[in-house]
Amino acid sequence: PVKQTPPPKDLCLSPPQSPRATSGRLKGAIDKSSKPGISPKSRATPQQTARSLRLGDEVPDFIAAATGMPGHNRLMHWHSWIEGSWAMLCSHPADYTPVCTTELGRLADLLPEFLKRGVKVAAVSCNDVETHEGWIKDITATAFCQSGQVDYPIIADSSRAIAEQYGMIDPDERSAEGLPMTCRAVFIIGPDKRLKLSLLYPATTGRNFTEILRAIDSLQLTAKHNVATPVDWKRKDKCMVVPTLTDEEAIRKGLYFEVIKVPSNKRYIRLTADPS
Closest CA to 80 of 181, 172, 12: 12
- 192 belongs to the catalytic site: yes
Q: Is 178 in the site for ligand BEZ (CB under 6 A)?
A: no
Among 14, 48, 52, 97, binds ligand BEZ (CB under 6 A): 97
Residue placing its CB nearer to ligand BEZ in the complex, 176 or 231: 176
Closest CA to 61 of 94, 83, 44: 83
Candidates 151, 172, 192, 237; catalytic one: 192
DSSP H stretches of helix in the chain? 46-52, 78-82, 98-116, 129-141, 161-165, 209-224, 247-252
Give CA–CA dist 252/213, Å, rounded: 31
Half-sphere exposure of 176 (CA within 13 A, CB side): 5
Only segment of 5-13, 31-39, 94-102, 240-248 that touches ligand BEZ (CB under 6 A): 94-102
Closest CA to 273 of 260, 253, 258: 258
Tell how strand 86-92 and strand 119-125 pair up. Answer: parallel
Residue placing its CB nearer to ligand BEZ in the complex, 60 or 93: 93
- 100 belongs to the catalytic site: yes
How far apart are CB 92 and ligand BEZ at their closest, in Å?
Answer: 7
* 46 φ/ψ angles, rounded to the nearest 5 degrees: -55, -35
Q: Is 203 in the site for ligand BEZ (CB under 6 A)?
A: yes
What is the SS3 assignment for 187? strand
The binding track of 51-90 with respect to ligand BEZ, each residue x by CB under 6 A or -, is ----------------------------------------
Q: Is 138 in the site for ligand BEZ (CB under 6 A)?
A: no
Candidates 12, 90, 100, 126; catalytic one: 100
Residue placing its CB nearer to ligand BEZ in the complex, 175 or 210: 175
Q: Is 131 in the site for ligand BEZ (CB under 6 A)?
A: no
Cite the active site residues: 100, 192
Query: Where do contacts with ligand BEZ occur on this chain (CB under 6 A)?
Result: 93, 97-100, 173, 181, 203-204
